[in-house]
Chain A
Amino acid sequence: MDIKRKKRRGLQAWVSWWIEKILAASGGITAFIILLIVVFLFKEGVGLFQSPRVDEGYVLLMHSSNEVDQLSADELKGIFDEDITNWAEVGGKNQAITSLRLDQIMDRFTEEELGGEYEYLSQRMGELIATTPGVIAFVPTLYAPLDHPAVQAMTDNTIALRDFFVGKEWIPTATPVPLFGTLPLVMGTLWVSLFAILIALPLGLGVAIYLAELASPRVRSLLKPVIELLAGIPSVVYGFFGLVVLVPWVQRVLDLPVGETAFVGSLILAIMALPTLISVAEESMKKTPRALREASLALGATHWQTIYKVVVPYASSGISAGVVLGIGRALGETMAVLMVTGNAALIPHTLMQPVRTIPATIAAELGEAAAGGSHYQALFLLGAILFLMTLIVNLMAEALAKKQHNKGF
């Protein structure tokens, strides 16, 4: 008997060879594209830590006797908001701070003193700084009297990693330095999605159990398409519903100052996640082998005991996949959340506060951020953070499902 492998010939062999290769390649290509997106996000974003904090074309000037030469973004903001009023608070000598912006400087002089074309502005500025030892001035480099002996420019740092990752404020338009603290956004995102899961999981699981186990075939064939239809509604519509119905309702019932809260965001997110969650969970419960069900019933377990001791555990990986898919879909669909959470970049302390999520921030701000500027870069880094967050959640869900399957519950 000839059992040697024969060379396949002809067009058919050629086509099947190519199909095989294309299928094999498509997996690799998908992974590669995902990698490319991540690299792109980081590449666009990572320049943030090399760009100066102060906007290009501006400098911070101080009196040359001032020994402070390092100020964090928060400190600078404090100084210009006049929350910090003494140099001693930021490590200098005991001296009152006079913070000046360009318009404040110009207000101190008459038009003649400045000159028609502002040709004396630089000189006046030098004089002003020389006579005010506690000064810090935020001015365009063009007019900065840098050769004046009593003036020193503050050495500007690049944006610090620390400020980005644990900074408590996100104010990209603040001057003299924008604040890119991502903590409130990360927290906002986590809060909204976490509570969305807490709301959606029991509800979705309940409906899925009802559909898979209890509903008569007629009810099931009626309900399933309706639920699947819900998944197709654009998220703006959900957002609109949230804004017009849920927000005022929550505000009235809970007697809150504003209705746009993390809570409503979670609610909307949960509603949007439900159809996917229900469909996936229901299908995986339906897949529980009949033999397992019968084995459980044959041991005298009731229908309910069989559901929660056999069917739900058996379907647990499908259920967690449903949660991740549902929430993932909902999180990605920024609009609805953007519309109902109030978008205040504050670290939330309760669910009943306005919050702002990462996707909402990106959607709202990318349009107005100058390409290549620090704001733009910060938004790209936010995208990368969001990607990492979803990745971690996905991996966790997968690990959880796997663990349960191997070890028993």
Chain B
Amino acid sequence: MIKAESIDFYYGEYHALKNISMQMEPNTVTALIGPSGCGKSTFLRLFNRMNDLIEGTRLEGKCWVDGVDIYDKSVDVDELRKRVGMVFQKPTPFPKSIFENVAYGLRVNGIKDKKFIAQRVEESLRGAALWDEVKDKLKKSAYELSGGQQQRLCIARSLAISPSVLLMDEPASALDPISTSKIEELIYSLKEHYTIVIVTHNMQQASRVSDKTGFFMLGELIEYNDTKKIFLNPAMEETQNYITGRFG
């Protein structure tokens, strides 16, 4: 379970997130939608402290992952990131073999047991619905895969370290329809084990894969509710305008 409470976030002077409180349940998929620049990625990146890498940012409010206040001084950021996997908009395979890409998270974790690593790699690739396509070329460079395969490889890479939360920032926006539907199926099957948050610009996608949807605008959380409710009967006019395409 992850939770944000009264979050205000600043890039220097720029107030990017305004007083956001939101709670995402385990074994559900939560979609974040909203016009470009409204702060979806910024919000998502709070939960694995990716925003720490950007200079001059400031955070007010609290974030919890599985009951831990992740901005507390006692938190080890590297450990947190092992619990909270992230998939980026563009596939970002490392310039390594397919196998080593998936094994990466295990290796940086200090795991040396070859058998265990091989087993985890296979499980993760199966989990990401990629195993059958790559099982014969694990030693090949990850760059030899198609964009859609690369993105599933990146998902497998995140799964390998058994996170409890999976953050996905427009994971299918750079992909063709077939790859996209594969990823969507994958997300659907993964929610059994993970808390999933997905940012998307694709309304159909949000309604297909998510259980709950949050609508952001200009750094504010306008509406957060069951996906069905948001798409069929939104409470706010802005939401209505956005999902019907009259805005954004």
The interface of chain A, by Cβ under 8 A from chain B, is 289, 291-292, 294-302, 305, 309-310, 313-314, 405-409
Contacts and interface: CB of A to CB of B under 8 A. Distances in A.
A299 B97 contact: no
A407 B95 CA distance: 8
A139 B197 CA distance: 96
Interface stretch (B80-88, B114-122, B220-228): B80-88
**What are the 9 tightest A-B residue pairs by CB atom distance, in nearest-first order?**
A300-B82, A408-B96, A299-B105, A301-B108, A408-B97, A295-B92, A298-B86, A300-B81, A291-B92
Nearest to B109: A300
A301 B104 contact: yes
A294 B154 CA distance: 12
Contact of A291 (B48, B88, B161): B88
Contacts of A295: 86, 88, 92, 94, 154, 157
B142 interface: yes
Contacts of A296: 94, 104, 108
A408 B105 contact: no
A301 to B, nearest CB: 4
Size category, B interface: 20 to 34
A406 B141 contact: yes
Contact of B104 (A291, A299, A314, A406): A299
B53 A409 contact: no
B81 A310 contact: no
With a 10 A CB-CB cut-off, give which of A299, A302, A314, A405 has the most chain B CB atoms.
Answer: A299
A279 to B, nearest CB: 23
Contacts, number: 75
B53 A294 contact: yes
Contact of B95 (A291, A299, A313): A313
A302 B108 contact: yes
A407 B78 contact: no
Given A300-B79, A301-B104, 5 more contacts: A291-B90, A298-B88, A299-B81, A299-B108, A407-B97
A314 B95 contact: yes
25 contacts: A289-B92, A294-B50, A294-B88, A295-B88, A296-B104, A296-B108, A297-B50, A297-B53, A297-B81, A298-B50, A298-B81, A298-B86, A298-B158, A299-B104, A299-B158, A300-B108, A309-B107, A310-B94, A313-B96, A405-B95, A407-B141, A408-B97, A408-B141, A408-B142, A409-B95
A309 B108 contact: yes
Interface string B20-55: 000000000000000000000000000010100100
A294 B167 CA distance: 13
B50 A305 contact: no
Contacts of A298: 48, 50, 81, 85-86, 88, 158
A409 B96 contact: yes
Contacts of A300: 78-79, 81-82, 105, 108-109, 161
Contacts of B142: 408
A158 B101 CA distance: 61
A237 B154 CA distance: 52
A313 B161 CA distance: 22
B100 interface: yes
A291 B87 CA distance: 11
Contacts of B96: 313, 408-409
A352 B50 CA distance: 52
A310 B96 CA distance: 9
A409 B107 CA distance: 14
Contacts of B82: 299-300
A305 to B, nearest CB: 5
Contacts of A405: 95
Contacts of A310: 94
Contacts of A309: 94, 104, 107-108
Contacts of A302: 78, 108
Contacts of B154: 295
A385 B50 CA distance: 54
Given A297-B81, A298-B50, A298-B86, A292 B104 contact: no
Nearest to A293: B53
A294 B52 CA distance: 11
Nearest to B82: A300
A291 B94 CA distance: 10
A313 to B, nearest CB: 6
Contacts of B108: 296, 299-302, 305, 309
Interface string B109-147: 100000000000000000000000000000001100000
A301 B50 CA distance: 12
B80 to A, nearest CB: 8
A409 B142 CA distance: 11
Contacts of A409: 95-96, 100
Nearest to A301: B108
A408 B161 CA distance: 21
A289 B94 CA distance: 10
A135 B85 CA distance: 90
A57 to B, nearest CB: 65
Contacts of A292: 92, 94
Contacts of A407: 97, 141
